[in-house]
Amino acid sequence: MTGTPSRLQTVGGPALFVLLWSTGFVGAKYGLPYAPPFTFLAVRLAVAAALLAGLAAALRSARMAGRAQYGRASVVGLLLHAGYLGGVFYAISLGIPAGVSAVIVSLQPVLTAVLAARVLGERPTTRQWLGLGFGVAGVALVVGPGIAQNSSTDALSTPGLAACLVALAAGTLGTVYQKRHGDGIPLLWGTAVQYAAAAALLLVIAAATETMSIRWTAEFIGAFVWLVVVLSLGAVLLLLLLLRRGTAAGVSSLYYLVPPAVAVEAYLLFGERVSGLSLIGIAVTALGVALVVVPRRAGPAVKLPR
Give the type of residue at 248. A
| In contact, 37 and 85? CB cutoff 8 Å | no
Instruction: Quote the pLDDT of residue 69.
Output: 92
Domain locations along the chain: 9-293
Give the type of residue at 146. G
Instruction: Quote the pLDDT of residue 4.
Output: 47
Instruction: Quote the pLDDT of residue 17.
Output: 84
CB atoms within 10 A of CB 36: 19
Model confidence at 182, pLDDT cuts 50, 70, 90, reads: confident
| In contact, 291 and 130? CB cutoff 8 Å | yes
Instruction: Quote the pLDDT of residue 144.
Output: 64
Q: pTM of the prediction?
A: 0.74
| In contact, 29 and 88? CB cutoff 8 Å | no
List CB contacts of 303: < 8 A, sequence separation 6 or more. Answer: none
Residues 298 and 306: their CA atoms lie apart, in Å, by 23
List CB contacts of 17: < 8 A, sequence separation 6 or more. Answer: 235, 238, 239, 242, 254
Average pLDDT (170-199) is 88
For 122-174, write each residue's pLDDT tens digit: 676 777 778 778 877 877 776 666 555 555 545 567 788 889 889 989 988 98
221 or 153: which leads in pLDDT: 221
Residues 157 and 39: their CA atoms lie apart, in Å, by 21
CA 81 to chain centre: 9
Instruction: Quote the pLDDT of residue 300.
Output: 47
Residues 43 and 39: their CA atoms lie apart, in Å, by 6
CA distances 100 to 145, 153, 212, Å, are 11, 14, 27
| In contact, 206 and 39? CB cutoff 8 Å | yes
Q: Which of 40-44, 141-145, 214-218, 230-234 shows the lowest per-residue confidence on average (mean pLDDT)?
A: 141-145
Instruction: Quote the pLDDT of residue 167.
Output: 92
Asked whether the predicted pLDDT for residue 227 surpasses 80, the reply is yes
Residues 179 and 118: their CA atoms lie apart, in Å, by 13
